[in-house]
Amino acid sequence: MSTELYSPAILFLVLIALVSKSNAGGIVVYWGQDEREGTLTDTCNSGKYQIVNIAFLSTFGNRQTPRINLASHCDPASNGCQKLSKGIKNCQNKGIKVMLSIGGGDGSYSLSSADDARSVADYLWNNFLGGQSNSRHLGDAVLDGIDFDIEKGEPHYAALARRLSEHSQGGKKVYLTAAPQCPFPDQWLNGALSTGLFDYVWVQFYNNPPCEYISSNPNKFKNSWNQWTSSIKAEKFYVGLPASRAAAGECSYQKYYLLSSLILNMVVSCSGINIMMIRVDTVPKSRTTFDSLMKKLKQICIFIRVV
Protein backbone atom coordinates (compact mmCIF):
# COMPACT_ATOMS: atom_id res chain seq x y z
CA MET A 1 0.00 0.00 0.00
CA SER A 2 1.23 3.49 -0.74
CA THR A 3 2.59 5.70 1.98
CA GLU A 4 1.44 9.22 2.69
CA LEU A 5 3.53 12.04 1.28
CA TYR A 6 2.42 14.54 3.90
CA SER A 7 1.98 14.68 7.66
CA PRO A 8 -0.85 12.45 8.92
CA ALA A 9 -2.37 15.46 10.68
CA ILE A 10 -5.12 16.95 8.58
CA LEU A 11 -3.95 20.50 8.12
CA PHE A 12 -5.07 22.87 5.45
CA LEU A 13 -3.46 25.64 3.51
CA VAL A 14 -6.01 28.20 2.52
CA LEU A 15 -5.21 30.39 -0.41
CA ILE A 16 -6.93 33.28 -2.08
CA ALA A 17 -7.22 34.08 -5.72
CA LEU A 18 -6.97 37.12 -7.86
CA VAL A 19 -9.34 36.53 -10.74
CA SER A 20 -7.63 38.35 -13.56
CA LYS A 21 -9.82 37.48 -16.53
CA SER A 22 -13.04 36.14 -15.08
CA ASN A 23 -15.37 36.80 -12.18
CA ALA A 24 -16.08 33.11 -11.83
CA GLY A 25 -14.92 31.80 -8.49
CA GLY A 26 -14.60 28.44 -6.83
CA ILE A 27 -12.84 26.32 -4.26
CA VAL A 28 -10.04 23.93 -5.23
CA VAL A 29 -8.93 21.02 -3.05
CA TYR A 30 -6.02 18.57 -3.13
CA TRP A 31 -7.31 15.06 -2.48
CA GLY A 32 -5.52 11.76 -1.98
CA GLN A 33 -3.08 11.93 0.93
CA ASP A 34 -5.21 11.08 3.97
CA GLU A 35 -8.02 8.57 4.38
CA ARG A 36 -9.75 10.90 6.84
CA GLU A 37 -10.55 13.31 4.02
CA GLY A 38 -13.21 10.87 2.81
CA THR A 39 -13.69 9.36 -0.62
CA LEU A 40 -13.45 11.24 -3.88
CA THR A 41 -17.20 10.85 -4.27
CA ASP A 42 -17.78 12.33 -0.81
CA THR A 43 -15.53 15.26 -1.67
CA CYS A 44 -17.44 16.16 -4.81
CA ASN A 45 -20.86 15.45 -3.31
CA SER A 46 -20.14 18.00 -0.56
CA GLY A 47 -20.94 20.79 -3.00
CA LYS A 48 -17.95 22.86 -1.85
CA TYR A 49 -15.46 22.43 -4.66
CA GLN A 50 -15.11 23.34 -8.31
CA ILE A 51 -11.73 21.70 -8.90
CA VAL A 52 -10.22 18.59 -7.28
CA ASN A 53 -6.50 17.83 -7.65
CA ILE A 54 -5.74 14.12 -7.22
CA ALA A 55 -2.34 13.97 -5.50
CA PHE A 56 0.17 12.66 -6.47
CA LEU A 57 1.89 11.02 -9.38
CA SER A 58 5.04 10.98 -7.27
CA THR A 59 7.43 8.97 -9.44
CA PHE A 60 8.18 9.75 -13.09
CA GLY A 61 10.92 10.67 -15.54
CA ASN A 62 14.57 9.69 -15.95
CA ARG A 63 13.72 6.12 -17.02
CA GLN A 64 11.65 5.45 -13.90
CA THR A 65 8.37 3.58 -14.07
CA PRO A 66 5.71 6.21 -13.25
CA ARG A 67 3.94 5.57 -9.96
CA ILE A 68 0.87 7.15 -8.41
CA ASN A 69 0.69 7.47 -4.62
CA LEU A 70 -2.73 7.98 -3.07
CA ALA A 71 -1.78 6.88 0.45
CA SER A 72 -4.34 4.45 1.86
CA HIS A 73 -7.10 5.27 -0.63
CA CYS A 74 -6.01 2.56 -3.05
CA ASP A 75 -3.14 0.28 -4.09
CA PRO A 76 -1.92 1.03 -7.62
CA ALA A 77 0.24 -2.12 -7.68
CA SER A 78 -2.91 -4.27 -7.78
CA ASN A 79 -4.81 -1.86 -10.06
CA GLY A 80 -6.83 -0.86 -7.03
CA CYS A 81 -6.95 2.80 -8.05
CA GLN A 82 -9.03 2.03 -11.13
CA LYS A 83 -12.04 2.01 -8.84
CA LEU A 84 -11.70 5.81 -8.66
CA SER A 85 -12.96 6.09 -12.23
CA LYS A 86 -16.56 6.14 -11.02
CA GLY A 87 -15.80 8.88 -8.51
CA ILE A 88 -14.00 10.98 -11.11
CA LYS A 89 -16.94 10.75 -13.49
CA ASN A 90 -19.32 11.64 -10.67
CA CYS A 91 -17.30 14.79 -10.01
CA GLN A 92 -17.21 15.75 -13.67
CA ASN A 93 -20.94 15.16 -14.07
CA LYS A 94 -21.40 17.79 -11.37
CA GLY A 95 -19.28 20.26 -13.34
CA ILE A 96 -16.19 19.75 -11.16
CA LYS A 97 -12.81 19.61 -12.90
CA VAL A 98 -10.56 16.77 -11.77
CA MET A 99 -6.80 17.18 -12.20
CA LEU A 100 -3.77 14.97 -11.57
CA SER A 101 -1.06 16.63 -9.47
CA ILE A 102 2.46 15.50 -10.31
CA GLY A 103 5.50 15.80 -8.04
CA GLY A 104 5.03 16.66 -4.38
CA GLY A 105 7.52 17.28 -1.63
CA ASP A 106 8.78 13.72 -1.16
CA GLY A 107 8.39 12.13 -4.57
CA SER A 108 11.05 10.52 -6.76
CA TYR A 109 10.90 12.44 -10.00
CA SER A 110 13.09 14.31 -12.47
CA LEU A 111 13.27 15.09 -16.17
CA SER A 112 16.66 14.31 -17.67
CA SER A 113 16.05 16.06 -20.99
CA ALA A 114 13.44 17.73 -23.17
CA ASP A 115 12.86 14.38 -24.86
CA ASP A 116 12.28 12.81 -21.46
CA ALA A 117 9.77 15.57 -20.67
CA ARG A 118 7.87 14.95 -23.88
CA SER A 119 7.84 11.23 -23.15
CA VAL A 120 6.36 11.87 -19.71
CA ALA A 121 3.76 14.20 -21.26
CA ASP A 122 2.73 11.48 -23.70
CA TYR A 123 2.50 9.04 -20.80
CA LEU A 124 0.23 11.43 -18.91
CA TRP A 125 -1.91 11.94 -22.00
CA ASN A 126 -2.33 8.23 -22.68
CA ASN A 127 -2.79 7.08 -19.08
CA PHE A 128 -4.78 9.90 -17.46
CA LEU A 129 -6.06 12.29 -20.12
CA GLY A 130 -7.59 11.83 -23.58
CA GLY A 131 -5.21 9.23 -24.99
CA GLN A 132 -5.39 5.46 -24.94
CA SER A 133 -3.55 2.84 -22.90
CA ASN A 134 -4.20 -0.66 -21.63
CA SER A 135 -2.94 0.28 -18.17
CA ARG A 136 -4.78 3.43 -17.14
CA HIS A 137 -4.19 3.76 -13.39
CA LEU A 138 -7.51 5.51 -12.71
CA GLY A 139 -9.60 3.47 -15.11
CA ASP A 140 -11.31 4.86 -18.18
CA ALA A 141 -12.10 8.28 -16.69
CA VAL A 142 -10.50 11.19 -18.57
CA LEU A 143 -9.03 13.81 -16.24
CA ASP A 144 -9.23 17.51 -17.04
CA GLY A 145 -5.58 18.45 -16.67
CA ILE A 146 -2.25 18.33 -14.88
CA ASP A 147 -1.08 20.25 -11.81
CA PHE A 148 2.67 20.90 -11.46
CA ASP A 149 3.70 20.66 -7.79
CA ILE A 150 7.40 20.49 -8.60
CA GLU A 151 9.98 20.93 -5.86
CA LYS A 152 13.07 19.31 -7.38
CA GLY A 153 14.47 17.77 -10.53
CA GLU A 154 15.88 19.09 -13.78
CA PRO A 155 14.53 22.25 -15.48
CA HIS A 156 12.72 20.66 -18.42
CA TYR A 157 9.15 21.32 -17.37
CA ALA A 158 8.57 23.85 -20.15
CA ALA A 159 8.87 20.99 -22.64
CA LEU A 160 6.42 18.99 -20.55
CA ALA A 161 3.91 21.85 -20.53
CA ARG A 162 4.25 22.48 -24.27
CA ARG A 163 3.73 18.83 -25.12
CA LEU A 164 0.66 18.60 -22.90
CA SER A 165 -0.70 21.75 -24.51
CA GLU A 166 -0.16 20.24 -27.96
CA HIS A 167 -2.44 17.38 -26.97
CA SER A 168 -5.18 19.95 -26.33
CA GLN A 169 -5.24 21.04 -29.94
CA GLY A 170 -8.25 19.69 -31.76
CA GLY A 171 -9.56 17.89 -28.69
CA LYS A 172 -10.52 18.32 -25.06
CA LYS A 173 -8.58 21.11 -23.38
CA VAL A 174 -5.81 20.02 -21.01
CA TYR A 175 -5.80 22.46 -18.08
CA LEU A 176 -2.39 23.29 -16.61
CA THR A 177 -1.84 24.57 -13.07
CA ALA A 178 1.27 25.12 -10.94
CA ALA A 179 2.29 25.66 -7.31
CA PRO A 180 5.59 27.61 -7.34
CA GLN A 181 7.40 28.98 -4.30
CA CYS A 182 7.08 32.75 -3.85
CA PRO A 183 10.75 33.69 -4.51
CA PHE A 184 10.68 34.89 -8.10
CA PRO A 185 11.53 33.24 -10.40
CA ASP A 186 10.74 29.77 -9.12
CA GLN A 187 13.79 27.52 -9.24
CA TRP A 188 12.02 24.61 -10.90
CA LEU A 189 9.00 26.06 -12.68
CA ASN A 190 10.13 29.39 -14.13
CA GLY A 191 10.70 27.99 -17.60
CA ALA A 192 7.34 26.26 -17.66
CA LEU A 193 5.46 29.28 -16.31
CA SER A 194 7.17 31.56 -18.82
CA THR A 195 5.45 29.67 -21.64
CA GLY A 196 2.17 31.39 -20.76
CA LEU A 197 0.36 28.07 -21.03
CA PHE A 198 -0.82 27.79 -17.42
CA ASP A 199 -4.42 28.46 -16.48
CA TYR A 200 -4.03 28.77 -12.69
CA VAL A 201 -0.95 29.60 -10.60
CA TRP A 202 -1.03 29.31 -6.80
CA VAL A 203 2.09 30.83 -5.29
CA GLN A 204 3.26 29.42 -1.95
CA PHE A 205 3.87 32.34 0.42
CA TYR A 206 5.02 30.25 3.39
CA ASN A 207 8.34 28.77 4.53
CA ASN A 208 9.90 31.45 2.34
CA PRO A 209 11.40 34.29 4.45
CA PRO A 210 12.42 36.43 1.43
CA CYS A 211 8.80 36.94 0.36
CA GLU A 212 6.34 35.69 2.98
CA TYR A 213 4.34 38.20 4.97
CA ILE A 214 5.76 39.60 8.21
CA SER A 215 4.29 42.63 9.95
CA SER A 216 7.68 44.33 10.37
CA ASN A 217 8.29 44.33 6.61
CA PRO A 218 5.05 43.84 4.68
CA ASN A 219 6.60 45.14 1.48
CA LYS A 220 8.35 41.80 0.96
CA PHE A 221 4.98 40.16 0.42
CA LYS A 222 3.57 43.09 -1.54
CA ASN A 223 6.52 43.30 -3.92
CA SER A 224 6.56 39.57 -4.52
CA TRP A 225 2.82 39.48 -5.19
CA ASN A 226 3.15 42.33 -7.68
CA GLN A 227 6.05 40.63 -9.41
CA TRP A 228 4.19 37.36 -9.83
CA THR A 229 0.98 38.89 -11.12
CA SER A 230 2.76 41.25 -13.52
CA SER A 231 5.42 38.86 -14.82
CA ILE A 232 3.54 35.61 -15.43
CA LYS A 233 0.64 35.16 -17.80
CA ALA A 234 -2.15 33.10 -16.23
CA GLU A 235 -5.92 33.05 -15.99
CA LYS A 236 -5.94 33.18 -12.17
CA PHE A 237 -3.38 33.76 -9.42
CA TYR A 238 -3.53 32.51 -5.84
CA VAL A 239 -1.80 33.59 -2.62
CA GLY A 240 -0.76 30.62 -0.51
CA LEU A 241 -0.70 30.92 3.30
CA PRO A 242 -0.29 28.41 6.15
CA ALA A 243 -3.33 27.47 8.18
CA SER A 244 -1.41 26.06 11.13
CA ARG A 245 1.82 26.49 13.05
CA ALA A 246 2.49 22.83 12.32
CA ALA A 247 2.31 23.55 8.60
CA ALA A 248 4.90 26.31 8.46
CA GLY A 249 6.18 27.25 11.91
CA GLU A 250 5.48 30.23 14.13
CA CYS A 251 7.22 32.77 11.91
CA SER A 252 5.09 31.98 8.85
CA TYR A 253 1.86 31.42 10.73
CA GLN A 254 -0.71 34.21 10.96
CA LYS A 255 -4.33 33.99 12.09
CA TYR A 256 -6.86 34.58 9.36
CA TYR A 257 -8.35 37.70 10.92
CA LEU A 258 -4.94 39.33 11.05
CA LEU A 259 -4.32 38.40 7.45
CA SER A 260 -7.73 39.64 6.45
CA SER A 261 -7.04 43.09 7.85
CA LEU A 262 -3.44 43.39 6.65
CA ILE A 263 -2.54 41.28 3.64
CA LEU A 264 -6.03 41.47 2.17
CA ASN A 265 -6.01 45.26 2.22
CA MET A 266 -2.53 45.28 0.76
CA VAL A 267 -3.40 43.06 -2.18
CA VAL A 268 -6.65 44.88 -2.86
CA SER A 269 -4.83 48.20 -2.92
CA CYS A 270 -2.44 46.78 -5.50
CA SER A 271 -4.94 45.02 -7.73
CA GLY A 272 -8.20 46.88 -7.24
CA ILE A 273 -9.98 43.53 -7.16
CA ASN A 274 -11.93 42.23 -4.17
CA ILE A 275 -10.56 39.06 -2.64
CA MET A 276 -10.88 37.21 0.64
CA MET A 277 -8.80 34.89 2.75
CA ILE A 278 -9.72 32.65 5.62
CA ARG A 279 -7.90 30.30 7.92
CA VAL A 280 -8.98 26.80 8.89
CA ASP A 281 -7.41 24.70 11.63
CA THR A 282 -7.50 20.93 11.80
CA VAL A 283 -10.49 18.96 10.65
CA PRO A 284 -12.93 17.95 12.06
CA LYS A 285 -12.26 20.35 14.95
CA SER A 286 -13.00 23.44 12.88
CA ARG A 287 -15.44 21.85 10.45
CA THR A 288 -18.38 23.98 11.61
CA THR A 289 -16.42 27.20 11.19
CA PHE A 290 -15.08 25.97 7.87
CA ASP A 291 -18.53 25.15 6.53
CA SER A 292 -19.98 28.50 7.61
CA LEU A 293 -17.17 30.41 5.95
CA MET A 294 -17.51 28.43 2.73
CA LYS A 295 -21.09 29.64 2.35
CA LYS A 296 -19.85 33.23 2.16
CA LEU A 297 -17.37 32.65 -0.64
CA LYS A 298 -18.92 33.98 -3.82
CA GLN A 299 -16.94 35.07 -6.87
CA ILE A 300 -13.77 34.21 -4.96
CA CYS A 301 -11.30 31.41 -5.72
CA ILE A 302 -9.85 29.57 -2.75
CA PHE A 303 -7.39 26.73 -2.98
CA ILE A 304 -7.18 24.22 -0.13
CA ARG A 305 -4.31 21.79 0.18
CA VAL A 306 -3.74 18.95 2.64
CA VAL A 307 -0.21 19.04 4.08
Hey, is 4 helix, strand or coil?
coil
Instruction: Please say whether the beta carbons of 66 and 109 come within 8 A.
Output: no
How far is it, in rounded angstroms, from Cα 52 to Cα 198?
Answer: 17
283: left (phi over 0), alpha (psi -120 to 50) or beta: beta
Distance CA 87, CA 93 (A): 10
Active site amino acids: 151
Instruction: Give the integer Cα–Cα distance in Å for 257 and 167.
Output: 43
How far is it, in rounded angstroms, from Cα 241 to Cα 182?
A: 11
Residue closest to 130 by CA, chosen among 159, 93, 97, 171: 171
